[in-house]
Structure 1
Amino acid sequence: MFAPYNTNLTAYRRPQTKFQRHTFKTTWTYKFCCLGGPNEDEVPDKPMKRILIETGLGEKKLALVKNKDAEYLRDALLEHYPKLKDGGGYELMRSSSRTLLETISIPSCGYTTHYLSDESGLGSAICYIRPLQAQLSLDAVERSEPSEFCLKEVCKVCGEKIPIVSLRDHLFECKEQCEHDQMEDMPVITKRQKRLEPIHDSACVRLNS
């Protein structure tokens, strides 16, 4: 009466959604600090840290994908520290005391994110990047133009809204221009000279008499 049940039919499977197919990558966030030269063996002091930051080096917090090879780590560091390309390779270091640095031993496959996060013993210490062959440029990095979405603040000198990233430079120029304008608007005060009256002959006669 009824057709026999086909046992050879495969069980129906609901297609996976895009969210289910997505594989999440485990990231590792860590603080790095790029040094300026191959002979650096001390922890940078505060003035040097500021110089390094202004030149595009110094401390940065990077979010890296774990379980990646040495090539991935190299490309990630070069992306955040473009000047490192001129260093002729790099080695990683950590602080051995409050002032001295020591090299982190390089495994046979090179530095990887897995090695740094799980096997190097870095812990919470800053990972220092030292160029191997050449001194990096310490020229200040030019600031890019602020975007249209940048937060703005009103200048208390001229009243204009200025992007916060360029407000300090604007204040310096704005105050100079304001002082210059005030000098031009000030009235010119000249010293009044005394008028010398000529001595008449009649006065000389009276004096002689």
Structure 2
Amino acid sequence: MGDHAYLTEHLYKTYPPLSEAGGYTLAKSDRAKRLNKVPIPASGYSIEYLRRFVDIKRAPLYIIPLQRALSLCLPVEEKSAVMERCLRCEKDIPICDLESHLRIW
């Protein structure tokens, strides 16, 4: 039974770029596959509101950014390279470069 802040926090955690959209609204499709916006109550969306008044048992909800369009692709996080110690020179070498490093020796 989360309030608007609870729901928003979880949406932002799942899709971080949504936090830069300037708010969001929700929509639900009908049997004719048209999207109908879910009215936003003054207190914002809550889990209780969505369950009681929107009847979201099976139909997915669609999140629509209000002020800024967003990319559907999540940003790729740069990860640091996995390092492995060279047994010959005893330096840490990125594992993806280790084979070519060993050829030099």
TM > 0.5 fold call: yes
Corresponding residue for 2:69? Answer: 135
Displacement, 1:107? 1.7
RMSD: 2.0
Corresponding residue SS for 1:102 = strand
Structure 1: how far apart are the matches of 2:28 and 2:57?
A: 10
Alignment counterpart, residue 117 of structure 1, candidates 26, 51, 66: 51
Structure 1: how far apart are the matches of 2:72 and 2:58?
A: 27
Displacement, 1:122? 2.1
Displacement, 1:75? 0.7
Corresponding residue SS for 1:114 = helix
Aligned residues: 79
Alignment counterpart, residue 108 of structure 1, candidates 25, 42, 62: 42
1:78 maps to 2:12: yes
Corresponding residue SS for 1:78 = helix
Structure 2: how far apart are the matches of 1:139 and 1:75?
A: 20
**Any unmatched runs of 5+ in structure 2?**
80-105
Structure 2: how far apart are the matches of 1:68 and 1:133?
A: 24
Displacement, 1:137? 2.6
**2:15–2:74 contact (8 Å) kept in structure 1:** no
1:90 maps to 2:24: yes
**Any unmatched runs of 5+ in structure 1?**
1-66, 146-209
Matches within 5 A, 1:2-151: 67-139=1-73, 141-142=75-76
**TM-score scaled by length of structure 2:** 0.64
**TM-score scaled by length of structure 1:** 0.34
Q: Cα deviation per residue 1:105-163 (whole Å; 9 max; x = unaligned)? A: 11221100111122212231001100001111345532676xxxxxxxxxxxxxxxxxx
In structure 2, do the counterparts of structure 1 residues 93 and 138 end up closer, same or farther at CA, with 3 Å as the change threshold?
closer
Structure 1: how far apart are the matches of 2:8 and 2:66?
A: 14
In structure 2, do the counterparts of structure 1 residues 129 and 138 end up closer, same or farther at CA, with 3 Å as the change threshold?
closer
In structure 2, do the counterparts of structure 1 residues 97 and 84 end up closer, same or farther at CA, with 3 Å as the change threshold?
same
Structure 2: how far apart are the matches of 1:140 and 1:92?
A: 20
Higher relative contact order (CA 8 A, sep 6+): 2
Corresponding residue for 1:7? Answer: none
Work out which of the two has the higher radius of gyration on C-alpha atoms and give 1 or 2: 1
Corresponding residue SS for 1:136 = coil
